[in-house]
């Protein structure tokens, strides 16, 4: 019985890794995400179910809480959502181009 449970757990882990996807996007100006300031450049986001991990161009994870939601419609290009706060723009969401995936930053 224990062997069956271990095999099942490994199988579920492999399936969950197979469904995780990575998306790339560019930021052209300095923005605030949560308490973190992002400089212009390339970033990736790993999406796995309802979780998202933002990474810089070197692959270093950026400490920002993010969740995944569905956008109402599929978009052709990556779309950014910003809060109207004065000063450095605050990035609140990203809808990934070619998908209905919406990353919401807390």
The alpha carbon of residue 80 and the mean position of all alpha carbons in its chain are separated, in whole angstroms, by: 12
Per residue in 20-68, pLDDT tens? 788 999 999 999 998 889 999 999 998 888 888 889 989 899 888 888 8
Angle among Cα 89, 91, 97 to the nearest 5 degrees reads: 125
Tell me the whole-structure pTM to 2 decimals. 0.72
Using DSSP's 3-state secondary structure scheme, residue 89 falls into coil
Residue 68's alpha-carbon distances to 5, 13, 95, in angstroms, are 30, 20, 10
**Which of the 8 DSSP states describes residue 39?**
P
What pLDDT, on a 0 to 100 scale, did the predictor assign at position 98? 92
Query: Measured between alpha carbons, how far is 53 from 65 in angstroms, rounded to an integer?
Result: 8
**Rounded mean pLDDT of the chain?**
81
Share of the chain above pLDDT 90, in %: 39
CA-based radius of gyration for the chain: 16
């Amino acid at each position: 019985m224990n062997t069956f449970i271990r095999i099942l757990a490994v199988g579920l882990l492999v399936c969950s890794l197979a469904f995780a996807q990575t998306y790339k996007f560019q930021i052209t100006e300095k923005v605030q995400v949560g308490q973190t300031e992002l400089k212009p450049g390339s970033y990736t986001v790993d999406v796995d179910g309802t979780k998202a991990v933002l990474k810089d161009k070197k692959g270093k994870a950026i400490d920002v809480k993010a969740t995944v939601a569905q956008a109402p419609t599929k978009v052709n290009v990556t779309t950014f959502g910003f809060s109207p706060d004065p000063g450095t723009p605050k990035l609140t969401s990203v809808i990934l181009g070619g998908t209905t995936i919406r990353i919401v930053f807390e």
